Structure 1
Amino acid sequence: MSGAQPGNPLHGVTLEAILTRLVEHYGWESLGERIAIRCFTHDPSIPSSLKFLRRTPWAREKVESLYLYMLRTQARNSE
């Protein structure tokens, strides 16, 4: 098995990079509205959010899903 994942936009992207891009794109307030978790709505920060997301699979899945949606939207808008 080579470990290659052609076509997987999440391959090689860290959770920190995903979260940083989402915060840059949406901002904390909008991110908290889109994904209603406390670490995004009450005194948000990258380190505290990463700690929560690494321990909470369902929340991480929501963040990854929103990231993929953002990438698709940006690709569609750039065409």
Structure 2
Amino acid sequence: MQQQPNNPLHGKTLETILNELVAYYGWPELGNRIRINCFNDNPSVKSSLKFLRKTDWARKKVEDLYVSTPFK
């Protein structure tokens, strides 16, 4: 297995990324930053993961936001 020391997403599951973003921003702000229905209309991690796993453009937006978020 190849190491990816410069990839901030290496070793992170989509569920972990989503949970950290929700904890940091909350659903309302996450829905404002990424305009997709699963974040704005009765949001849940389960429904969001289902959508993000089959929608590449939305997953890319979530990953980009995660990389640009100053968690510390």
TM-score under structure 1 length normalisation: 0.87
Q: Percent identity?
A: 58
Larger Rg: 1
Contact 2:21 2:30 in 1 (8 A): yes
Cα shift at 1:74: 3.8
Q: 1:56 to 1:24 in 2, by over 3 A?
A: same
Cα shift at 1:6: 1.2
2:19 aligned with 1:20: yes
Alpha-carbon distance in 2 for matches of 1:50, 1:35: 14
Give the match for residue 45 of structure 2. 46
**Amino acid in the other structure paired with 1:57:** D
Structure 2 unaligned residues grouped into runs of 5+: none
Question: Higher helix fraction: Structure 1 or Structure 2?
Answer: 1
**Amino acid in the other structure paired with 1:33:** N
Runs of 4+ in 1 over 2 A off after TM superposition: none
Structure 1 unaligned residues grouped into runs of 5+: none
TM-score under structure 2 length normalisation: 0.95
2:5 aligned with 1:6: yes
Q: CA offsets, 1:6-63, max 9 Å, x none? A: 1111001000000000000000000000000000000000000000000000000000
**Amino acid in the other structure paired with 1:24:** A
